[in-house]
Amino acid sequence: MSKLWGGRFTKQTDQLVEEYTASITFDKELAEEDVRGSLAHVSMLGKQGILPSGDVETIKGGLSRVLERIRKGELEYSVSDEDIHMNIEKALIEDIGPVGGKLHTGRSRNDQVATDMHLYLRRRVVEFVGLLRSLQEALIGQAKENLDTIVPGYTHLQRAQPILFAHHLMAYVSMFGRDAERLQDSYKRIDTLPLGAGALAGTTFPIDRHYVAEQLGFGRVYENSLDAVSDRDFILEFLSHASMIMMHLSRLSEELILWSSTEFRFVELDDAFCTGSSIMPQKKNPDVPELVRGKTGRVYGNLTGLLTVLKSLPLAYNKDMQEDKEGMFDTVKTLSGALRLFAPMIATMKVNGGQMREAVNKDFSNATDIADFLVGKGLPFRQAHEVIGKTVLYCIENGKFLLDLTLDEFKGFSELFDERIYEVLQPETVVNARNVYGGTARPQVEAAIGRAEAALAETAGWVEAYSAKQN
């Protein structure tokens, strides 16, 4: 069969041109979305009396059979047919004859492909909100088991103040919660139907775009036909959100890599999520977090790539926009793999609370509380800061930690010290003294866990509702 658009041409397309311009090798990912959009479109053509009911039913039957072949992996794709739309239309015509050519009435590949990507990304966004929720649940599970586990808190990768390990984990619950909120917010822009915009100016046929939107579960339609076929903002927004999720995963990955090293020994990742060395039998390598950290760069690259493609394009559709898909598909695959691995990896992680406590006992992360103690005695903070700086220096020079000092040694730096300083310096006291909203005190962390679990219940309802909408 000749090309479906070949009437204008007197020569066959050069084979190299076919191979260079074809997108079927990657946009076949949109096959089911393409059929779904076509079924809604042809139903509308029948409703509006644009096609007779007999043709509509014939086309629907043919599309259903093509969809079945797609799901069974039996549909053979051809580069000569360029893209998923032409491949499916050709398969339809081969199945039902020339009447299949009527399917394209009142639409263009420009609005067709935009519709496919909206359908595809709308479904994926709901999936990712669900995956983020699973990861948050795993982190909360570990936090609930470590409400009494104290770990050094760091700034500049230097020990700063002791905190609950649960508090540290809940920081990531908050990050991933914002990530989920961003995806949920983006859904309303993805949930916009381009079909009916035609090539760029609409169509002369009396179509009903809102009926198609209803059939496909879209909340609204594009207001402007030029915008509808040239908009890729929704993909850019997804790639931006995906980049932030990967950034958060990468930060957590870096900490897992550090924490599982011999130098830290704070955690041990389950064997199922680690690999060994081909030459060093003692090695247990945290390859999953390392690879997630590495793959973050490719997701950033996909965002930058599409921004660059779109930055100078005039309205409306241009062939450059074919470059919108591979990066999107790659990001979906990369992010999905990372999230599906991270939740069980966190859930099965062993926490070495004893090693964390030993680290807290052998540092000066409780020094700030001595300054606060002196401030409570009336000493200005800047003077208290200087006193404690000298106290810490004395400890370093004499191979001691703060709790090793006698009361006389403390008084050598300030007469304001008394016996209560030893209670103030206990790690549990230091942690629980920060009993403010969002702080590391156990009551505050328990409250934060409660709020997070309530938010996850709401997220579960959202995922359930919007998953149903995709069908």
**Helix or strand run (H / E) with residue 154:** strand 150-155
- CA pair distance 110, 133, nearest whole angstrom: 35
Active site residue 248: no
From the candidates 53, 64, 78, 277, which is the catalytic residue? 277
The residue assigned the tokens 């903002």 is 233
Cα separation, 340 vs 421, in Å, equals: 48
Question: By C-alpha distance, which of 322, 343, 355 is closest to 232?
Answer: 322
Q: Cβ–Cβ contacts within 10 Å for residue 198, how many?
A: 22
Are 442 and 435 within 8 A, CB to CB?
Answer: no
Q: How many residues does the chain have?
A: 471
The phi and psi torsions of 78 (rounded to 5 degrees) equal -125, 130
DSSP-derived letter for residue 167 is H
Q: What angle (nearest 5°) sits at the alpha carbon of residue 74, between those of residues 72 and 78?
A: 135
Active site residue 156: yes
CA separation for the pair 425, 360 (Å, rounded): 11
Nearest to residue 307, comparing CAs of 238, 222, 229?
238
Q: Which of 140, 109, 101, 131 minimizes the C-alpha distance to 30?
A: 109
Conformation bin of residue 269: beta by default, left when phi > 0, alpha when psi is -120 to 50: beta
Contact 296, 249 (CB under 8 A): yes
Task: Say which of 2, 156, 278, 312 is annotated catalytic.
Answer: 156
Active site residue ranges: 156, 277
